[in-house]
Amino acid sequence: MDCSSGLYFNAETSECDFKENVLSCRNPFDCANRKNGAYADGCSTVFWYCSEGSVSLSRCPRGTYFDVELLKCDYKEAVPACGGVRSSSSQSSRLAADASPGMPKQDRVFQTTATADSSKGQDTIECGQDGIIAMGDCSDKFWMCSNGIAVKESCPKNLFFNVKTKECDYPENIE
């Protein structure tokens, strides 16, 4: 497929797209000498997650962009790097620089043995490994575990946590 000047073929969407949205056009990201956590470059739908020197590329759900300050995906109008203004509803707790991203679409790199401790309710969990833990089958909430610390997160408005894919998604995509 031939793309117009300044656009590149995106194999994931089978469409022409801007270079920053085409994974094969991106420079490899190096996690050496970086803290565990999420990293992004400006207004982007993709971000990198470093864990113990290893890197994984993650993509926000369609229509959302990565907010590097809050470490989560949100709608473009709420992400300052995209020219948006963060609303008070998207001001969830700020995470430390080494916390995990708020709602990644992972390339299935996070497999965790951590489970919610039902005796403690939904307010606390014990993290065995870094990863994402669902709070239920039909919820917009989930836990992010990083370095043994659990942080409760929420999906953007109108999205729910998909237990199967471990990402925030539209209800019609969740089985």
The pLDDT-based confidence of 1 (bands split at 50, 70, 90) is low
Q: How far apart are CA 19 and CA 17, in angstroms?
A: 6
**Pair (14, 49) in one structural domain:** no
Residues 135 and 107 placed together within one structural domain of the fold: yes
Given a cut of 80, whether residue 28 has pLDDT beyond it is no
Say whether both 50 and 117 belong to one domain.
yes
Q: Is 8 exposed, middle or buried (0-12, 13-18, 19+ CB in 10 A)?
A: middle
Report yes or no on 175 lying in a domain. no
Do 64 and 4 have their domain in common? no
* Amino acid code (one letter) for 160: F
Total number of domains constituting the chain: 2
Identify the three-state secondary structure at position 172: helix
- 59 and 9 within one domain: no
Which of the four pLDDT bands, split at 50, 70 and 90, describes residue 77?
Answer: very high
Q: For residue 50, what are the domain limits?
A: 31-170
Indicate the pTM of the whole model.
Answer: 0.46
Looking at the structure, tell me whether residues 23 and 75 fall in a common domain: no
Please indicate, yes or no, whether residues 45 and 68 belong to a single structural domain of this protein.
yes
